Amino acid sequence: MTTLVLEHVSRSFGPVRAVDDVSLAVPPGSVTALLGPSGCGKTTLLRVIAGFLEPDAGSVALDGRVVAAPGRCVPARDRGIGYVPQEGALFPHLDVAANIAFGLRGRAGRGRRERVARVAELLDLVELPRTFAERAPHELSGGQQQRVALARALAPAPSVVLLDEPFSSLDAALRASTGEAVVAALRAAGATGVLVTHDQDEALSLTDQVAVMRAGRLVQAAAPRELYARPADADVARFVGGAVVLPARARAGRATCALGDVALVSEADEAALEGEVTLVLRPEQLRLTPERAATHGGALARVIDVGFHGHDATVRLALLDDADVRLLARTDGLTAPEPGAQVRVDVVGPASAHPR
Amino acid sequence: MLTAVVVAALALVPLGFVAYDAAAVGPREAYDLLWRPRIGELLWNTVRLVVGGMLACAVVGVGCAWLVERTDLPLRRLWHALLVAPLAVPAFVTSFGWVSLTSSVQTYAGAVLVVTLAYYPLVYLPAVVTLRGLDPALEETAQALGHGRLAVFVRVVLPQLRPALLGGSLLVGLHLLAEFGAIQMLRFPTFTTAIYDQYRSTFNGGAATMTASVLVLCCLLLLLTELRLRGRRRYARLSAGSARPADRQRLGRWTPVGLLAAAGVVALAVGVPTYALVHWLVVGSSTAFPVADLLAATGTSLALGAAGAAITVVLAAPVAWLAVRHRGRLAGLLEGSTYVSTSLPGIVIALALVTASLRVVPDLYQTYALLLSAYAVLFLPRAVVSLRAAIEQAPPVLDDVARSLGTGPLETIRRVTLPLIAPGVASGAALVFLAVSTELTATLMLAPIDVATLATRFWSASSSVAYGAAAPYALLMVLISLPATVLLGRVSAGGGDR
């Protein structure tokens, strides 16, 4: 069980600050996602933690021991950190068993019987049949290759495992199931995981903590639920799930916007807000009812178009009073209104707000 | 990094020497040497041979590729194997086959015929690869847009074949500029044969160098054309996934015509030289089997091939490594410089090394060291191409993984990098080995006096019209070349044999 602590880590490539003053603590046994669009510096940060890159400033500590700081870096091979790169990168000239056993040292690496036992144990852990041991990497599907790559990283029993967009090359159906299996194996092995991803669904559903990065900086690190309910700003809100962003005026824990009077999340920061704010609502917080006139609260809007997805539908709307105000709502697929229909919009649940 | 710079510099030595020598001649003398009817005649002969050969190779190469890849010609696999076969026969052996049977090929038309038969596979192979990879959807789209079969071929297929066609033809051009043995036998004087004669008769550095510098200019011109044409456009399928194979054109009652065409090319390119060899082996009055000489020459050829391959691969390794792992201006420049120098004819490189060694380190003249460095400069690109592909098989991410699993740098090379690149290294070494063991021009000029290879033995026998005595050596060279040809025919990916 290890705590991974990053303090003020920076790393530049020429004039570009790829990672800019990032501090983050990853609790033992947890899985943390580094989430951000491509080019935000998340992979660079991962490579600094792994020991493939040196930081220009700041430090990385494992269990209180500094492993990376300018001028004194423990080489990657002595860090005991597992690494699962994109698309697995299995050694193509070795079979599955030899891939998994590649990093085994000492007794487990030398004795034939110990090796076979450890390989079998790891195949069980990543939920692959033991008969796969003899296969060549090219005989496996993408998801299976990822699982073997994880087994290979877990074999020397590292305290921390780093995963660099491990599921991005898999198709959608396989992505979810492989992701769950990989995280389950990490937890079963008791390893601390850091998962780089640009897929917010993956980050929210698989991990304990999500660290959102933007242009090299860490914008917010929070538990998935907390992140969704209280994004640090409107951009984070838009990036993590859809968002309806409206100007509003706040007073005493409530805010007045184009949709009427809305409660703010009952946290100290929001409760203290006064005056002009930016209000952030989630699309599923907008409830649509077919209606010709606003009776109590709510506002009237016209449906511009509907994106139908079966289980749900995304509805784009324009307010009747002010057609410049565009809204995005998520409704049940079967009860979605038709384009052109007039609906009443009500807000369900509290909104988050940020001073303007 | 430093080693790569040194290797690239070595590869540029011959070019530098030609330039330096040409500059040292002095304008007055240079003018006199160049502005002679003789040079004009050589230039005219060289240009019309190169242009004629390139055009004929393009027509024969594309025609055969279309027959094999796009029609329902019977026995296509057999035809493919036979059409690639001329690669196994050194051009001067093909030429020997024709010349020894009839002197009527010792004209311009005959020369074009013979060099075309020797070199058309350089167009045929890339054309086959392109035709195979062509997305049939493009042709179907064109048909749906209302174009007939011929219009589709001209407006869709031919433009896509362009890179293969141009690349292959320019390669043929470079080979023809460099070809010495075949052309000497055809008694068709060009720059290479003139350089050789000047060198042999007078050891006249000035005249040979001036002639060589004109030849170098021709080569660089072709090379630049190739680079420009290659760099400008890309013809790629836009979507992912592999193309499905195209429907084949039914030949129907044209089948005999197709068969006749393929059989004709094969008969002229493979049949005639083979017949000549067998004929001279069987009936030649001078035929003898000097077993000891044959064995000695074979041994020398193989030993030189092995040593040349080892040195070339070792020299190519840092260049290829830089080109793959540290892409950048400098790496590109280094890689490019190895190509420039080696597009120069063997005769120019040999001449430059002779002058260089005589002037700077006379002890090196006619030693194995000098001969092997000529081979290295000549065949470096073959090794670089293979090694590049091999190193691309071992992406850096595998090094990262190995490091994260506790492996040190040397152990990573031993356990990961070497096993992955071994096959590519082996095939690169094999290509160089086979090229060296049938090399004629540089060997003739640079080999130590008492050293004879299969090629030089063959050359001296056939030059003194002892056709029967020459035949066994030619046969052995063909046998040695066969494996590489099989390799090329099978891989069929990558452009030609450079």
- How does pLDDT run across B267-307, given as a tens digit for each residue? 998 899 888 888 888 876 555 667 788 888 888 898 999 99
**CB-CB contact of B280 with B461 (8 Å):** no
Residues on chain A touching B420 (C-beta within 8 angstroms): 91-93
Two domains, one topology: A4-229 and A242-355: no
Domain membership flag for residue B260: no
Packing angle, helices B108-119 and B158-178, rounded to 10: 110
- Record the tokens describing residue B50, joined without a space: 């190169």
Mean pLDDT score, A204-216: 93
Contacts with A85 from chain B: Cβ below 8 Å: 397, 400-401
Residues of B with CB under 8 A from a CB of A: 393, 395, 397-398, 400-408, 415-416, 419-420
> Is the pLDDT confidence value at A147 over 60?
yes
**Could A76 and B398 be called an inter-chain contact, meaning their C-beta atoms sit closer than 8 Å?**
no
Q: Which one of A53, A83, A100 makes the best mutation probe of the B interface by having the most chain B beta carbons within 10 Å?
A: A83
A102–B402: do the CB atoms touch at under 8 Å? yes
Question: Cβ atoms within 10 A of the Cβ of B63, count?
Answer: 18
Q: What confidence tens digit (pLDDT) does each residue in B414-423 have?
A: 888 888 888 7
Q: What is the pLDDT of residue B293?
A: 83
Which of the residue ranges A110-114, A217-221, A287-291, B201-205 would you say has the lowest mean pLDDT?
Answer: B201-205
For residue B90, tell me if it sits in a domain.
yes
Inter-chain contact A52–B416, Cβ cutoff 8 Å?
no
Q: Is B256 inside any structural domain? A: no
| Whether B353 contacts B374, CB under 8 Å | yes
Phi and psi at residue A318, to the nearest 5°: -125, 135
Report the residue of chain B nearest A47, measured CA to CA: B400
Say what angle helices B346-360 and B205-232 make with each other, to 10 degrees: 130
Task: Please indicate whether, in this complex, the C-beta atoms of A93 and B397 are within 8 angstroms of each other.
Answer: no
Query: What average pLDDT does this structure show over B346-353?
Result: 82
Average pLDDT over residues B100-126: 88
Question: Is the predicted pLDDT of residue A32 greater than 80, yes or no?
Answer: yes
pLDDT top residue among B92 and B8: B92
Q: Is the pLDDT of residue B117 over 90?
A: yes
Over residues B33-49, the pLDDT tens digits come to: 677 778 888 889 999 99
Residue A83 to residue B400, Cβ atoms within 8 A: yes
Facing residue for A77 by CB, picked from B403, B419, B420: B403
Share of chain A above pLDDT 70, in %: 95
* Nearest CB to B406 within list A50, A77, A86: A77
Tell me which residue in B403, B416, B419 faces A76 most closely, judged by beta carbons. B403
Portion of chain B with pLDDT greater than 70, in percent: 87
Q: Is the pLDDT of residue B413 over 80?
A: yes
Among partner residues A82, A93, A105, which is closest to B404 by beta-carbon distance?
A: A82
Taking a C-beta distance cutoff of 8 angstroms, is the pair A215, A19 a contact? no
Query: What's the total number of domains in chain B?
Result: 1
Q: Which residues of B touch A78 (CB under 8 A)?
A: 406
- Output the pTM of the full model: 0.72
Q: How far is CA A42 from the centre of its chain?
A: 11
Q: What is the pLDDT of residue A131?
A: 92
Assigned CATH class of A4-229 = alpha beta
d(CA B232, nearest CA chain A) in Å = 29
Chain B residues with CB inside 8 Å of A89's CB? 395, 397-398, 400-401
Arithmetic mean of pLDDT, A334-355 = 88
Give the pLDDT score at B57: 94
Please give the CATH topology (third level) of the domain spanning A242-355: OB fold (Dihydrolipoamide Acetyltransferase, E2P) (2.40.50)
Query: Nearest to residue A152, comparing CAs of A184, A180, A115?
Result: A115
Select the residue of A75, A89, A105 nearest B401 (Cβ to Cβ): A89
| Per-residue confidence (pLDDT) for residue A45, from 0 to 100 | 94
* Domain membership flag for residue B249: no
Query: Of A75, A85, A93, which is closest to B401 when you measure between CB atoms?
Result: A85
Q: Residue B497: which pLDDT band, with cuts at 50, 70 and 90?
A: very low
> Could B403 and A85 be called an inter-chain contact, meaning their C-beta atoms sit closer than 8 Å?
no
Q: What pLDDT was estimated at residue B240?
A: 38
The pLDDT value given to residue B242: 45
Instruction: Give the number of beta-carbon pairs within 8 Å between A and B.
Output: 60
The least confident of A272-281, B133-142, B336-345 is B336-345
- pLDDT band per the 50, 70, 90 thresholds, residue B496: very low
pLDDT at A294 over 60: no
Question: What pLDDT does B229 receive?
Answer: 66
A-chain residues near B411 (CB < 8 A): none
* Cα pseudo-dihedral A217, A222, A223, A224, rounded to 10: -50
Mean pLDDT of B24-33: 72
Domain residue ranges of chain A, discontinuous segments joined by +: 4-229, 242-355
CB contact under 8 A, A152 and B400: no
**Is pLDDT of A84 > 70?**
yes
Residue A25 pLDDT class (50, 70, 90 cuts): very high
Contact A102 B395 (CB under 8 A): no
- Report whether A195 contacts A211 (CB < 8 A): no
Asked if residue B390 lies in contact with residue B325, where contact means CB atoms within 8 angstroms, the answer is no
Q: Of the candidates A77, A83, A93, which has its C-beta nearest B420's C-beta?
A: A93
Res. A220 pLDDT band, cuts 50 70 90: very high
Per the domain annotation, does B267 fall within a domain? Answer: no
Nearest CA in chain A to B420: A93
Query: What pLDDT digit, counting tens, does each position of B214-225 carry?
Result: 888 888 888 777
Q: How confident is the model at residue B495 (pLDDT cuts 50, 70, 90)?
A: very low
Q: Three-state SS across chain A?
A: CCCEEEEEEEEEECCEEEEEEEEEEECCCCEEEEECCCCCCHHHHHHHHHCCCCCCEEEEEECCEEEEECCEECCHHHCCEEEECCCCCCCCCCCHHHHHHHHCCHHHHHCHHHHHHHHHHHHHHCCCCHHHHHCCHHHCCHHHHHHHHHHHHHCCCCCEEEEECCCCCCCHHHHHHHHHHHHHHHHHHCCEEEEEECCHHHHHHHCCEEEEEECCEEEEEECHHHHHHCCCCHHHHHHCCCCEEEEEEEECCEEEECCEEEEECCCHHHHCCCEEEEEEECHHHEEEEECCCCCCCCEEEEEEEEEECCCEEEEEEEECCCCCCEEEEEEECCCCCCCCCEEEEEECCCEEEEEC
Mean pLDDT over each residue of chain B, to the nearest integer: 80
A62, β-bridge pairs: A4, A65
Per-residue pLDDT tens for B151-168?
Answer: 777 787 888 888 778 878
Distances (CA, A) of B429 to B306, B449, B489: 8, 27, 17
Using a CB-CB cut-off of 8 Å, the residues of chain A touching B415 are 102
| pLDDT at residue A97 in the model | 92
The answer to whether A93 contacts B402, with C-beta atoms less than 8 Å apart, is no
Confidence tier at A35 by pLDDT (50, 70, 90): very high
List of chain A residues whose C-beta atoms are within 8 Å of the C-beta of residue B403:
51-52, 75-77
- Distance between the two ends of chain B, CA-based, in angstroms? 24
Residue B24 lies in a domain: yes
Domain that holds residue B63: 2-232+282-493
Residue of chain B nearest A104, judged by CA positions: B405
ipTM of predicted complex: 0.76
A293 has a pLDDT exceeding 70: no
Domain harbouring B127, CATH code: 1.10.3720.10
Per-residue pLDDT at B233: 46
Mean pLDDT of B181-200: 85
pLDDT of residue A59: 93
- Residues B121-131: tens digit of each pLDDT: 888 888 888 88
Contact B219, B343 (CB under 8 A): yes
**B395, B401, B419 member nearest A93 (Cβ):** B419
CA angle A150/A155/A157 to nearest 5° reads 105
Whether the per-residue pLDDT at B22 is higher than 70: the answer is: yes
pLDDT of residue B308: 92
Going by pLDDT thresholds of 50, 70 and 90, the confidence category of residue B234 is very low
Residue B336 domain-assigned (yes or no): yes
Distance CA A271, CA A253 (A): 4
